[in-house]
A and B are shown apart, each in its own frame.
Chain A
Amino acid sequence: MEACGILRPGPMSNDSHLPLAPRDLLILSVLAEGPLHGYGIIKAVEARSQAGVLLDPANLYRVLRRMRGLGWIQEAEPKAVVAGDTRRRTYEVAPEGRTLLAAELARLERLLDQARPALARGRGE
């Protein structure tokens, strides 16, 4: 979760979507680093989660379509393309998605803050 350091917690805007599904959280967080196309997303998610393929292509685009519909992400301008095939569609986080991600991270941090002492106490006894 080091990468989360660059994000500042913002105002809670869209509580109804919290908590985020792990898959959505992962996709949002890799896109928060910069625009990516589908293949890039899968690669990044894999690198981050250190697990095998979490998403198969058809499912990925289904998720992306839904997130786009909710306004969390948007298609990036062609000039924003970093690497890879220029013809490929790339996605970036929309402002609303960024807010949501921040809110979710804040929620998780609170949760961790509460959980860690409990674990420490349990170990001490």
Chain B
Amino acid sequence: MVLRLYRMMLWLLPGRVRSEDGEEIAWVFGELLRTRRGFVSHGLLVVKAFASLPWIAALEWKDRFVGSSPQGPDRNPGGWGMSQWTRNLRYALRTLRRSPAFAFTTVILLGLGVGAVTTIFTVVDHVVLRPLPYPAAERLLLIDNGSHSGLVFRELQGIATVERWGAARSETANLVWEGDPIRIQETKVSEDFLSLFGARPALGRLLVPDDFADPNVVVISHGAWQRIFGSAPDILGRTLRVDGASVMVVGVLEEAFVPPEEEITYGGVTDFWRPIDWSFEDLFDPETHILEIVGRMAPGLTLADVNLEVDRVAADLARRHPDQMTDGEGNPYPIPAASLQEITTRRVRAGLGLLLGAVSILLLVACLNVAHLFLARGLGRVREMAVRRALGAGTSSLIQQLLVESLVLGTAGGAVGVGLAKLGLESFLALNPGRLPRTGDVAVDLRILGFTAAVSVGTVLLFGMVPALRSIGHDLTNDLKGSSRGSTSGRGAGRMRGALVIAEVALSLVLVAQAGLLLRSFMRAQTLDPGIRVGGVWTIPLNPTGVASPEEYVLAMDEVEASLAAVPGVSSAGYSLTLPFEMTGRGRCCWMTSRLSVDGEGFQGLRLLLQPVTEGFFRTLDIPMVSGRIWDEGEAVGEPWPAVISEVLAIEIFGSAQAAVGRTMGVGGDGTQVLVTGVSGDTHHFGLDQDPPLFVYLPIEKLPFTIPMAHMAVSVQGEAPPGWARTLREAVWEVAPQMPAPTVRSMVDWIERSTARRRFDSALFGTFGVVALLLAAAGLYGTLLFTVGQRRRELGIRIALGAGRGSVEWGVVSKGVTLAILGSGLGLFGSWGMGRFIESRLFGLEPTDPGTLLGAVAVLMMAAFLASWLPARRAARVDPMEVLREE
């Protein structure tokens, strides 16, 4: 044992020294070891020999390169010269051509694994790791905790640790331009916003301070200039009609400018950049949360420095506006500064990390199979190696040759991997499951190629080279005799194969279990009752802009509602600010308050969703009344305000739906009194897997402000006729000719979209799981087949001596199943450990859900049984006569 270790340590010595004296050194050490008596002198010898070896090796290497000791001409046996490399390369290609199945399988396995990892890594790299494409991007910050008022923006200006601030407000607008009305995305920005992000004009100019005195100007994005205006060179100075107002084009941004995404502009798309109208007084109302605030720290500071000052501002605001700028407990309303890069990527970071982990496991399983292949091939080549050694090849030249072979396979696998990654990336981005930010320019580039090369060469060296080294045996005579009897597979190799199978099963189990958990979450969410009618409901989200008053808004939209209701086949129509399942995953809409009082007693910590609706809204979506009734026309315009509340809210406040009817509540900052006329069933407004919100439905007539949102819903009996979307659009245009209606979508579609991420998750992980399962089964199958092949003679003799075929079969199957059980045990531990990474994506079950885990184990055991049974049958069919004849 000690001697073997010492022999291994001798590899530290330069090749020439090793080939010249290695055997002698090891022999002397062995003799010393043998003759030393007594524990102390034994120990001294071992310690001294092991301690001095690295030192000697270092000296030898120094001699080799500096050449301090005169040793005669350098014969360079088995040297690493260039000609040697090319010779090895040619030899490697020749050998690999002679075993195409091995080469092909290895390359494909490597390619699959490397391709999967490269795909996800490319996405992670572009989306999370790279700095944002702005000047001094690492110093950009965003005031977190949602949108803020102009008041907060103004107060923050005094902070010395931030050199420049910007504010933005993104919304949709309607543009009338040659033909159908167009819906555009418009971002209103503060003076410094565009220069903060390094925007430069391609035509004209950016916004200047004077524009903010007269905000009817617009800077157009390059994309909108091409798409809407056909890159018209004379666009500057033209006047456009946006939301009923005239605005003049003063500039076009350069193409390279990528607007900041996520929190600031929805999805990074902005067509029009316009100045914020600071004369709009409501902007400075502390309750008007509509601005996104960004800034750039002064150089050399940290977020902590900035937040010290920001906290002071927050405390000051809380003192001056105790009613609005505090949270429920009287603390200052939090306005924390956070890194823009982190904010931009935080939504997707955990998900991508999980994905990267999953593909890494997949790569590992593929690599373990590669290791199987190399191991089997190595055993088959023991004789070849022995012959070459007998003919004078040094160990180092044999290693060199194996190295070159591995590198050839690794390079080929890497190339396949890059190709697959390109395909994978395209389909991944086409699906773009979680609406990933920053995916505009994702591509495989040099940096990624470096990563891929490192992964493929690393894996092939680790998983190919190490097993292959076993083929360079020590016992030359025995290897040369090359009797097939038992000489090929030592106990060590057998154990290594077993360990590989166990590892594969364990890793596969982790993936299968995760896939199972995600699939069950998906199915569980799918079976929930959405709380509304789904079939036959169509939605048309509209953006009524440029409306002067709430009364005008209601009047105009009521007309649209009536026009839609009059379409043949439509049984009812209704509208509200938003419809269920439109805003899944983001609670950024619309009219919310956390202030509620009943009989003078305040409730804390409830987030009420105020939803102005028409009476047709309930009928169209078939939302049932659990108790009471909907308001009538008289009540809708009278005092006090009538309201329908959702059942969860009724139970929360009044204990039951029945108890709520007829009661009054004070809602909102000014405590408007509303009378509960009815309690409605709950709806999963923000997604099937989200809790039903606490709704206060109000008559649309009570809408106190104008808002560019009126989402229409119609219900039809039976199938929608062809051209249905056009019919509905025309019904809208009949009464509102300048209203864009870009989206006509069925509720079924909305719900599907709302669960798209879960479906994507379970499909992706399901694929990973199945592939891993197949690979593990293949590994097990191959191992057992190999063992059976090796034991053919023994099995034949046993059968000849009267062993039942059943017992032979069982012997093989039980070996495979034992390995699978060991692997499953490990895999269960692994799944348990991985659980917390996946927890946030699950719905209605724990990551340790025993049913799912047992199911995964069962699937794996079935696969393992099948994979063992096939080789077992082969074992049982061994013909004793044939075997004995061969002898």
Contacts and interface: CB of A to CB of B under 8 A. Distances in A.
A49 to B, nearest CB: 15
B56 interface: yes
Interface string A70-102: 100000000000000100110000000000000
B642 to A, nearest CB: 96
B27 A39 contact: yes
A85 B41 CA distance: 24
A39 B32 contact: yes
Given A39-B31, A42-B28, A88-B24, A58 B69 contact: no
Contacts of A38: 24-25, 27-28
B71 interface: yes
Contact of B69 (A42, A61, A66, A89): A66
B15 to A, nearest CB: 14
Contacts of B31: 39
Given A57-B49, A89-B24, A69 B69 contact: yes
A62 B59 contact: yes
Given A39-B27, A69-B70, A88-B27, A56 B59 contact: no
Given A52-B44, A69-B70, A69-B72, A61 B27 contact: no
B52 A61 contact: no
Contacts of B194: none
Contact of A62 (B28, B56, B70): B56
Interface of B: 10, 13, 17, 20-21, 24-29, 31-32, 41, 44-45, 48-49, 52-53, 56-57, 59-60, 69-72
B70 A70 contact: yes
The 10 closest A-B pairs by CB, nearest first: A57-B28, A61-B21, A38-B28, A58-B56, A56-B49, A39-B31, A57-B25, A57-B29, A69-B71, A39-B28
A85 B53 CA distance: 25
B45 A58 contact: no
A67 to B, nearest CB: 10
B72 A61 contact: no
B28 A59 contact: no
A53 B48 contact: yes
SS of B interface (majority): helix
A57 B9 CA distance: 13
A60 interface: yes
Contacts of B57: 58
A53 B47 CA distance: 12
Interface in A1-57: 37-39, 42, 52-53, 56-57
Given A39-B31, A42-B32, A69-B71, A58 B13 contact: yes
Contact of B60 (A60, A62, A88): A62
Contacts of A56: 29, 45, 48-49, 52-53, 56
14 contacts: A53-B48, A56-B29, A56-B53, A57-B25, A58-B10, A58-B13, A58-B49, A58-B53, A58-B56, A60-B25, A61-B21, A62-B60, A66-B69, A69-B71
Nearest to B12: A58
Nearest to A46: B32
A109 to B, nearest CB: 30
A59 B45 CA distance: 13
Interface string A95-113: 0000000000000000000
B44 A58 contact: no
A27 B627 CA distance: 108
A38 B53 CA distance: 16
Given A38-B27, A61-B21, A53 B44 contact: yes
A61 B24 CA distance: 8
Interface size class of A (residues with CB under 8 A): 20 to 34
A91 B559 CA distance: 112
Given A37-B24, A58-B56, 4 more contacts: A56-B45, A66-B69, A69-B69, A69-B71
SS of A interface (majority): helix
Contacts of A85: 27
B25 A58 contact: yes
Contacts of B52: 56, 58-59
A23 B692 CA distance: 88
A42 B60 CA distance: 21
Nearest to B51: A56
Contacts of A88: 24, 27
Contacts of B20: 65
B28 A60 contact: yes
Contacts of A59: 52, 56
B14 to A, nearest CB: 11
B679 to A, nearest CB: 89
A29 to B, nearest CB: 19
Nearest to B13: A58
A63 B69 CA distance: 11
B86 to A, nearest CB: 32
A57 B31 CA distance: 10
Contacts of B13: 58
Nearest to B71: A69
Contacts of A52: 41, 44
A65 B21 CA distance: 9
A42 B41 CA distance: 15
B65 to A, nearest CB: 16
B71 A65 contact: yes
A57 B49 CA distance: 7
Nearest to A58: B56
B64 to A, nearest CB: 12
Contacts of A42: 28, 32
Nearest to B46: A56
Contacts of B28: 38-39, 42, 57, 60-61
A56 B28 CA distance: 9
Contacts of B26: 57
Nearest to B49: A56
Nearest to B72: A69
A38 B27 CA distance: 9
A85 B26 CA distance: 14
A65 B45 CA distance: 22
A65 B60 CA distance: 11
Nearest to B60: A62
A81 to B, nearest CB: 14
A62 B18 CA distance: 11
Contacts of A60: 25, 28
A56 to B, nearest CB: 4
A68 to B, nearest CB: 9
A78 to B, nearest CB: 15
B24 to A, nearest CB: 5
A74 to B, nearest CB: 13
Contacts of B72: 69
A59 B17 CA distance: 12
B226 to A, nearest CB: 74
A75 B185 CA distance: 90
Contacts of B59: 62
A53 B25 CA distance: 15
Given A53-B32, A56-B52, A69-B71, A61 B41 contact: no
A38 B60 CA distance: 18
Given A39-B27, A62-B56, A88-B24, A57 B70 contact: no
Contacts of B10: 58
Nearest to A66: B69
A57 B50 CA distance: 10
A56 B60 CA distance: 15
A38 B45 CA distance: 16
B16 to A, nearest CB: 10
Contacts of B44: 52-53
B13 to A, nearest CB: 7
A52 to B, nearest CB: 7
Contacts of B53: 56, 58
Nearest to A85: B27
B262 to A, nearest CB: 62
Contacts of A69: 69-72
Contacts of A70: 70
A111 to B, nearest CB: 28
